[in-house]
Amino acid sequence: MLKKREEADHVSPDELRRVNKIRRDFVANVSHELKTPATSLRLLAESLEETIDEDPVQARLFAAQLRAETERLSNLITDLLDLTRLESEEKVENPLPVDVRSVLMTVLARMRRVARKKNITLQWKRFGRATHYTVRGDETQLTSMFTNLVDNAVKYTPPGGRVEVTGGLEGSEIVIRVSDTGIGIPEGKLPRIFERFYRVDKARSKVTGGTGLGLSIVKHIAENHGGRVTVESTSGEGSTFTVYLPRG
C-alpha cells in the first residue's frame, strides 16, 4: 500500500492523464463489446417468444442461437476477468517449475479433435536434443497461452491445412513456435494484433466466436513469465507466433 502511494507521488500529470484515458477507453470498449451480445440475446429471446407456439421448428433454431450467443458472452467475460487479473499481476505469483513440453503435449492432445474435425494436420516437432524445457511459472497460465495460440492457428486455417508446433532451446531461452498455413495477417495490421479487442476481420471473428482478447492474454502471460511473443505472417500463406521464455 505504502509502495503504491510512493509510486503515485512520482507520476507526472501527463502520465496520470494518459493512464486515465486508457482506463476510460477500456471501459468504453468493454461496454461496447458487452452491448452487442446483450442486444442479440434480447432479439433472440423476442423471436423465440413470437415463434414458440406457431413454428416450433423455427423456435428451436432461435433457442440454439440463443445458447451459442450466451456462450460467446460467457467466453468474453471469462477472458476479461483473466486479462484484468494478468494485467494487475505483472509477474507470476508463487512461480513453480513447469515442464513446457508436457504443457504442449496436453494442449495438442486437447486440440487434436477440433483439428481433425476441420481436416487440419496438427504436428509437434522438437528441435535440438533437449527433452525437458523447464520454466519457473504458472502451469495453468502457460496452458492457456499455448491453447490460445494453437486454437487461433486451427481457427484461422482453412480445411486441409497444417498447424505445426515446434519447441527447443536457443541460448538461455526456450523457444516455441506455432505455425499455420492459414489465412495470414496483412502486414499493416500486424502491429495491432496484440491489442485488446483488435480483430483483423470483425465479421469473421463473430462467426468464429472470437473475443479479440486471446492474443492480449498471450502477450501478458509471456511477459509475466519474463518472456515475449512475436509474430510473422504473410497474407494468404500463414502465420508463425513465437514465444520466448527464460529457462528456469
- Angle, to 10 degrees, between the axis of helix 13-51 and the axis of helix 56-89? 160
For residue 226, the 8-state DSSP code is: T
Q: Minimum Å distance from CB 164 to ligand ADP?
A: 12
Name the residue nearer to ligand ADP (CB basis): 37 or 212. Answer: 212
Pairing of strands 121-126, 228-234: unpaired
Number of residues that bind ligand ADP (CB under 6 A): 21
Phi first, then psi, for residue 21 (nearest 5°) are: -65, -45
Chosen residue from 62, 133, 146, 156 binding ligand ADP by CB under 6 A: 156
Establish if 80 lies at the interface with ligand ADP (CB under 6 A).
Answer: no
Of 199, 219, 220, 225, the one binding ligand ADP by CB under 6 A: 199
Q: Which among 27-35, 39-47, 122-130, 197-205 is the span making contact with ligand ADP, rule CB under 6 A?
A: 197-205
Does residue 201 bind ligand ADP (CB under 6 A)? yes
Per CB under 6 A, 82 contacts ligand ADP? no
Of residues 211-240, those binding ligand ADP (CB under 6 A): 211-215, 239
CB under 8 Å to 191, separation ≥6 — which residues?
A: none
Task: Find cell 519474463 and name the residue.
Answer: 226
Binding flag, residue 120, ligand ADP (CB under 6 A) = no
200 binds ligand ADP (CB under 6 A): yes
Q: Does 104 bind ligand ADP (CB under 6 A)?
A: no
In a 10 Å sphere around its CB, with 0-12 CB exposed, 13-18 middle and 19+ buried, how is residue 213 labelled?
A: buried
Task: Give the separation between CA 120 and CA 183, rounded to whole angstroms.
Answer: 13
Could you tell me if 107 and 147 are in contact, meaning their C-beta atoms sit under 8 angstroms apart?
Answer: yes
Dist CA 120 CA 123 (whole Å): 10
Q: Which three cell numbers stand for residue 244?
A: 520466448
CB of 1 to ligand ADP, least distance (A): 34
Pick from 40, 147, 152, 242 the residue near ligand ADP by CB under 6 A: 152
Contact footprint for ligand ADP (CB under 6 A): 152-153, 156, 180, 182-185, 193, 198-201, 205, 210-215, 239
